[in-house]
Amino acid sequence: MDSGMDWHWARAALDWQVELGIDEAIGETPVDRFAHEAAEQAARAAPVAAPEPKAGATATPMAEPEGPDPVDLAREAARGAGSLEGLREAMAGFEHCELKRGARNLVFCDGVPEARVMIIGEAPGREEDRQGKPFVGRAGQLLDRMLGAIGLSRAESVYITNVLPWRPPQNRDPRPDEIAMMTPFLTRHIELADPDLLVIMGNISCDALLGKRGITRLRGKWTEAAGRPVMPMFHPAYLLRQPGMKRHAWADLLELQAKLKALG
């Protein structure tokens, strides 16, 4: 039968395959491996139908998730706090966040509880974890200078806390489940401190209170959360890494100063 293939070309191709170690035929027709793999992937992705129960058999109920939802427990504990001190105790007694096991101290707050401005950071760093106060490292020193430029200070006119009270290992970003677990405590913290407005610094704070990230896009624009005005701003730690962004932070500080004057 004429296959359209020159005999000498076919012999050369066969010799080349033998040199490569191909010395055994495993089929009479070629196999499209790509099509075969695609079919296998489609089969794996298809839902597996549950087997039909035998006559007279009782269906086995699906297993319920083990233990209560940590977010619900956090919400219940936060609701039960009638004061800032009670909230601190509730957070200290909350055993469902793994971050607590690797941290030295609970970082609860600093500043003046009745202040008009409440600043919310992300999570403690090494110095904050060591001292048990938010914003006490280099980022905290920069924050103090920023506030001083518009006549504010943590000693007289600002109250400060974080989304998370415990330092994440190696200063990694908090996971979504950790943020969700601590947000009920943060919401209650805002209610008890009752500031006129909030300054939220960094993406983690925006995630917790606004449900979104993208601080470069969000900063400098007034929005609302927890029933009060909110100004997203760059975190001072970011400004230390990107000093060119300080001009944006200065514009945001002027917006904050103007808002306080407008609110009386």
How are beta strands 117-121 and 158-162 bridged, if at all? parallel
Residue by residue, DSSP assigns 87-123 as HHHHHHT----THHHH-SS----EE-TT-SEEEEES-
> Is residue 37 in a domain?
no
More reliable by pLDDT, 6 or 235: 235
The band of 54, judged by pLDDT with boundaries at 50, 70 and 90, is: low
Report whether pLDDT(148) > 60.
yes
What's the rounded Cα separation, in Å, for the pair 56 and 68?
A: 34
What's the rounded Cα separation, in Å, for the pair 124 and 136?
A: 9
Residue 192 and residue 144 in contact, taking contact as beta carbons nearer than 8 Å: no
Domain count, the chain: 1
> Is residue 3 in a domain?
no
Mean model confidence pLDDT for the chain:
87
Quick check: pTM over 0.85?
A: no
Q: What is the pLDDT at residue 37?
A: 58
Residue 260 and residue 116 in contact, taking contact as beta carbons nearer than 8 Å: yes
> Is residue 17 in a domain?
no
Report the CATH number that the domain containing residue 151 is assigned in CATH.
Answer: 3.40.470.10
Q: What is the pLDDT at residue 229?
A: 98
Q: What is the pLDDT at residue 67?
A: 76
> Is residue 56 in a domain?
no
Give bridge partners of residue 229 from the DSSP assignment: 224
Q: What is the pLDDT at residue 29?
A: 54
| Structure-token pair, residue 192 | 């008890």
> Is residue 19 in a domain?
no
In this predicted model, what pLDDT tens digit does every residue of 118-130 receive, in sequence order?
999 999 999 999 9
Q: Which range, of 25-29, 149-153, 161-165, 205-209, averages the lowest pLDDT?
A: 25-29
| Structure-token pair, residue 13 | 């191709």
More reliable by pLDDT, 13 or 260: 260
Averaged pLDDT for residues 13-33 = 57
> Is residue 120 in a domain?
yes
Residue 236 and residue 125 in contact, taking contact as beta carbons nearer than 8 Å: no
Q: How far apart are the first and last CA of the chain?
A: 99
Report whether pLDDT(187) > 90.
yes
Report whether pLDDT(106) > 80.
yes
- Burial class, 205, CB count within 10 angstroms (exposed 0-12 / middle 13-18 / buried 19+): buried
Report whether pLDDT(26) > 70.
no
Q: Which helix (H) or strand (E) holds 230?
A: strand 228-233
> Is residue 55 in a domain?
no
> Is residue 32 in a domain?
no
Instruction: Quote the domain boundaries for residue 206.
Output: 70-263
| Structure-token pair, residue 69 | 């939802």
Q: Which helix (H) or strand (E) holds 161?
A: strand 158-162
Residue 111 and residue 155 in contact, taking contact as beta carbons nearer than 8 Å: yes
The band of 52, judged by pLDDT with boundaries at 50, 70 and 90, is: low
